[in-house]
Amino acid sequence: MHVITGKVLALTDKVEGQNERGEWARRSVIVEYGDEYPRKVCITAGNAERIATIESLELGKYYAFGVVFESREVNDNWFTDIRFIRLA
């Protein structure tokens, strides 16, 4: 697990759906981190408990996010997700 500490800029809308494994949901938080050259990152939560934690965050406040990085290939293109695990 990695830790990203930063300021909450925005929360995305909750996205829900259904697939062959059942119902799913996700919600993301946009975080600004870094001092001299701030960067933005989208951190995604993918289960009810983690989504509830994301929804409890206050805009403009700083938090330490425990995350994991995961990449996947789709049609010879690679995509990387930053998955929320817990507040660190």
pLDDT cut 90: percent of the chain above it: 94
Is 46:39 a contact under the CB 8 Å cutoff? no
**pLDDT band, residue 10 (cuts 50/70/90):** very high
Q: Report, in angstroms and rounded to the nearest whole number, the Rg of the chain calculated over CA atoms.
A: 14
For the chain, the structural domain boundaries read 2-87
Q: Report the relative pairing of strands 2-11 and 39-45 from DSSP bridges.
A: unpaired
End-to-end CA distance of the chain: 10
Domain 2-87 has CATH 3.40.640.10: no
pLDDT digits (tens, 9 = 90+) for 53-83: 999 999 999 999 999 999 999 999 999 999 9
pLDDT, residue 75, reads 96
Q: Which residue has the tokens 């909450």?
A: 8
Average pLDDT score, the chain: 96
